Structure 1
Amino acid sequence: MEIAFVKSSFCHDGGCVEAAALPLGYVVLRDSKDPEGPALVFSHEEWAAFVAGVRNGEFNFSPR
């Protein structure tokens, strides 16, 4: 089975995170500069909580 990774349309410098949907609702993330390197796998519930946090501005950190 081939996994279809996608990059954000905001990615312009090549150092991006790629995401792919896996069977049973899992999501996998990897570094586009190291596609054969380690990846992070999230359950549907974990991914949904992360996306909700992004949409709610929970990761809008102020520069120090």
Structure 2
Amino acid sequence: MTTAAQPTDRALVWHTSSYSNGAGGECVECAITSTRAHVRDTKTVDGPVFTVTGSAWTAFLQALKSG
């Protein structure tokens, strides 16, 4: 896991959570590359970015789905 002010990967395409309603909720955006998943706060897009490997991201999503 790494954190950085700005990932050094190619230009990232950010996707906002489907739970984000624009009312100031606490939501995240994700940008997925071939080897990494980048996560940031929707309210602080110029802030830190949380970055994990693709396999760690997949394991995280599987754990969420299984409860």
TM-score by length of 1: 0.77
Relative to total residues, which structure has the larger strand share, 1 or 2? 2
Shift of 1:8: 1.5
Q: Which residue is equivalent to 2:55?
A: 45
Moved over 4 A (4+): none
Higher RCO, 1 vs 2 (CA within 8 Å, ≥6 residues apart): 2
User: What do you get for the CA RMSD once the two structures are aligned?
Assistant: 1.3
For structure 2, the residue ranges without an aligned partner over 5 or more in a row are: 1-9
The CA deviation string for residues 3-51 of structure 1, in whole angstroms up to 9 with x for no partner, is 11011221113331000012x3200000011111111001011001100
> Percent of aligned pairs with the same residue?
29
Structure number with larger C-alpha Rg: 1
Relative to total residues, which structure has the larger helix share, 1 or 2? 1
TM-score by length of 2: 0.74
